[in-house]
Amino acid sequence: MRFNPKFTLKLNKKINGVADDVINCFKSFSWKGNVRELENTIEFAINMTEDEIIKRQDLPVKFQKQKKSIIKCVINPIEVLEKNEIEKAIEIYGKDTNGYQKAYEALGISRATFYRKIKKYNIN
C-alpha cells in the first residue's frame, strides 16, 4: 500500500508498509465517508504508530473492535450444481421439446442423459 506523502511529511514519519490484518480490516469496513474517512483513518494511524509499519493497534478504536473477517466458503456437491444448472437451462430455454433440446445442447450432454437427470433430480 502506498501513501500520499502528505501525511508522512506533515507528521514527520517514515512509513514502509501496512500489516496484512490492517489491509483486511480496511477491505471489510463499510466506508460511509468514502475517501475522506479513509484519509482521516490513515492520518490517525500514521500519527499513532511508533514503527514504520502500521498495525491494527495504530488504528482508531472502531477498527480494533472489528471482528476479523472470515470468509466461509460453501462447497456444494456436484449433484447440487448439476441439478441447478439443468433447472437454469430449462428456465432459459423453456419446457417444450425445442427448449429441452436447446437445454441439453447448451449443457453439453446427450438427450438420454438430460432426461435421466431430470428424472433423477425430480425436476418438473
Of 84, 23, 92, which Cα lies nearest the Cα of 59?
A: 23
Give residues with Cβ within 8 angstroms of 88, minimum separation 6.
none
CATH class of the region 5-64: mainly alpha
Residues in the chain: 124
Q: β-strand 53-54 against 17-18: which pairing, if any?
A: parallel
Of 27, 61, 29, 58, which Cα lies nearest the Cα of 42?
A: 58
Which grid cell is 101? 433440446
From first to last of the 124 residues of the chain, give the pLDDT tens digit: 555 566 776 777 788 888 888 888 888 777 777 788 888 888 898 888 888 888 888 888 887 776 654 445 567 789 989 999 999 999 999 999 999 999 999 999 999 999 999 999 999 8
> Nearest 5°: CA angle at 69, between 65 and 70?
140
Structural domain spans, the chain: 5-64, 78-120
Burial letters for 50-83: b for 16+ Cβ neighbours within 10 Å, e otherwise? eeeebebebbeeebeeeeeeeeeeeeeeeeeebb
